[in-house]
């Protein structure tokens, strides 16, 4: 009810959020995800770009290697950008 009424989520989305929270319960992977999220937050706060992160799954510590491989044309830069990244809310 809180997610729907106070935060405007749909009934389906509210259910999905709640069920993920109830499933989570503090697994080791959740700690890893949180650690990664905090690293991403710091990266962005320090002026880091988000677009290179759309290349695929890799650790932030490998970002320089990914950039170098793109410069060498071993990897192709990602041209697909999710629409939400172009919103004013996301830019803020």
**79-89 pLDDT, tens per residue?**
888 888 888 88
What is the C-alpha separation between 41 and 36, in angstroms, rounded?
9
- As given in the structure block, the two tokens for residue 65 are 């290697």
Give residues with Cβ within 8 angstroms of 10, minimum separation 6: 4
CA atoms within a 13 Å half-sphere pointing along the CA-CB vector of 56: 9
φ, ψ of residue 27 to 5 degrees: the values are -70, 160
Q: Render pLDDT for 5-50 as a digit per residue (tens, 0 to 9).
A: 999 999 999 998 888 887 766 667 777 788 889 999 999 999 998 8
Q: In this predicted structure, what is the pLDDT of residue 25?
A: 62
Tokens linked to 58:
């890799």
């Amino acid at each position: 009810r809180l997610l729907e009424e106070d935060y405007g989520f749909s009934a389906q989305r509210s259910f999905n959020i709640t069920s993920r929270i109830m499933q989570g319960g503090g697994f080791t992977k959740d700690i890893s995800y949180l650690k990664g999220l905090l690293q991403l937050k710091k990266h962005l706060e320090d002026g880091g770009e988000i677009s290179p992160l759309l290349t695929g799954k890799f650790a932030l510590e490998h970002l320089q290697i990914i950039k170098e491989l793109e410069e060498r044309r071993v990897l192709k830069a990602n041209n697909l950008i999710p629409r939400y990244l172009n919103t004013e809310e996301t830019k803020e």
